[in-house]
Amino acid sequence: MATITTSQSGQIETETAPRRLVIPHGLASHLQATPLLLILGFFFVLPILTIVVVSFWDYDFAGLYPDFLTMNYADTLGSWVTWKTYLNTLKFTVLVWALTLSIGFWVAYFLAFHVRTTTMQMVLFLVCTVPFLTSNIIRMISWIPVLGRNGLVNSTLIELGLIPQPIEWLLYSDFAVVLAMVHLNTLFMVTPIFNTLMRIDRSLIEAARDCGASGGQILWNVILPLAKPGMAIGSIFVVTLVMADFSTVQVMSGGQSASVALMMKNQMSLLQYPAAAANAVVLLIVVLSMVAAILRVVDIRKEL
């Protein structure tokens, strides 16, 4: 982005005739960056600043009162509920991340290396995206009749005589939450990994094979390192989505489990906006440091 702007402004400068109005070099590039700056400023920086400001305000049920109190942060960080909820959310994040990464990698691997024709690759890739044609709430809720006490899985297993009575932990449990999240988020892993795998120069693999590398060695020493940027991008998607999730946790745990976003939603529905804002700031810091950690490990610019 930055390189394009400078080269363009350079062009403008060389093309302008002496009698025309000369736009100074710096100003032109600033002008060109202005639209993006305005959009980000209004729709990103300003809202976040508002959240930060409100998180220091006082409140009661009827309104918000501008102030500078650290009470909201003290309440948030000083309560074991917050810590427990963060731990719970982190637990979901780690589980879902590990599962989506391994499933996503193998799906992408299959698409990229086992499917021969490009047409077939694209067809199969589109098949992967088919579930996205319905809303993710529907995809989540449709697990309920499958997993329920009298649901598809339980009734089938009972009819086959495999289990004497329904398995209770299938629905309204951590299992159900993780299952639904993996189902919802795997594609976010598949897409970027598939993209990086497709860019791997096939001659590298041939070279490795010529040098006598086994299939496992090729995978471990050639493909995985080259797929890292895609895995990192997918991880960023999945981690941020799971950390900020509230509906999946609420629906699939039957309200029995808590997540950070659900805690915020509860606070907002009780009109405790400053408390929710403080919570949001804490969550933002946590998620940003997780993203920073991912970027530390993998240089995603290699791909871009």
Partner 1 sequence: MTTENKTEKPGAGLTRRSLLKTGAAAIGAIAGSGAITGFPTIWAQNPITLRQFGTGVSNINAIAEKCKQDLGITLEMTATDSDAAAQRAVTQPDSYDIADIEYWIAKKVFPAGVMQPMDVKKIKYFDKIVPLFIDGKLKPESVVAQGTAPHTVGFVDAQDSKTFAKSPTDWMTLIPTIYNADTLGIRPDLVGREITTWADIMDPAFKGKTAILNIPSIGIMDAAMIMEAMGNIKYADKGNMTTDEIDKTIDFLIKAKQDGQFRAFWKSFDESVNLMASGEVVIQSMWSPAVAAVRSKGIACKYQPLKEGYRAWGGGLGLAAHLQGAQLDAAYEYINWYLSGWVGAYLNRQGYYSAAMETAKGFMSEDEWGFWVEGKPAKGDILSPEGKVMEKAGAVRDGGSFEERMGKVACWNSVMDEDRYMIKRWNEFIAA
Shortest gap between Cβ of 304 and partner 1 (angstroms)? 36
Minimum CB distance to partner 1, residue 242 (Å)? 17
Nearer to partner 1, 54 or 263 (CB): 263
Nearest-approach distance from CB 185 to partner 1, in angstroms:
22
- What residue ranges bind partner 1 (CB under 8 A)? 61-63, 79-81, 84-85, 88, 144-145, 148-151, 168, 171-172, 250, 254-256, 258, 263, 265-266, 268-271
Find, among 223, 209, 237, 218, the residue nearest to 294 by Cα. 237
Of 170 and 281, which has the nearer Cβ to partner 1? 170
User: Could you tell me the smallest distance in angstroms from the CB atom of residue 90 to partner 1?
Assistant: 14
Contacts of 8 (CB under 8 A, 6+ apart): 32
The C-alpha R_g of the chain, in whole angstroms, comes to: 25
DSSP secondary structure string, 282-299? Answer: HHHHHHHHHHHHHHHH--
Q: Which is nearer to partner 1, 152 or 295 (CB)?
A: 152
Span between the terminal Cα atoms of the chain, in Å: 11
Smallest CA-to-CA distance from 233 within 196, 207, 268, 266 is with: 196
- Shortest reach from residue 296's CB to partner 1, in Å: 31
Q: Which is nearer to partner 1, 144 or 219 (CB)?
A: 144
Residue where the block lists tokens 């159900």: 176
Q: How far is the CB of 147 from partner 1 (least distance, A)?
A: 10
Shortest distance in whole angstroms from residue 144 CB to partner 1: 7
Cβ contact 230:76 at 8 Å: no
Task: Decide whether 51 or 232 has the Cβ nearer to partner 1.
Answer: 51
To the nearest 10°, report the CA torsion of 25, 26, 27, 28: 50
Q: Which residue's CB is nearer to partner 1, number 196 or number 250?
A: 250
Our CB check for partner 1 shows the closer of 79 and 217 to be 79
In this structure, how many other beta carbons lie within 10 angstroms of the beta carbon of residue 147? 22
Q: Compute the half-sphere exposure of residue 278: CA atoms within 13 Å on the CB side of its CA.
A: 21
Q: Which is nearer to partner 1, 89 or 195 (CB)?
A: 89
Q: How far is the CB of 258 from partner 1 (least distance, A)?
A: 4
Distance CA 64, CA 238 (A): 34
Overall size of the chain counted in residues: 304
Burial class (CB in 10 A: 0-12, 13-18, 19+), 194: buried
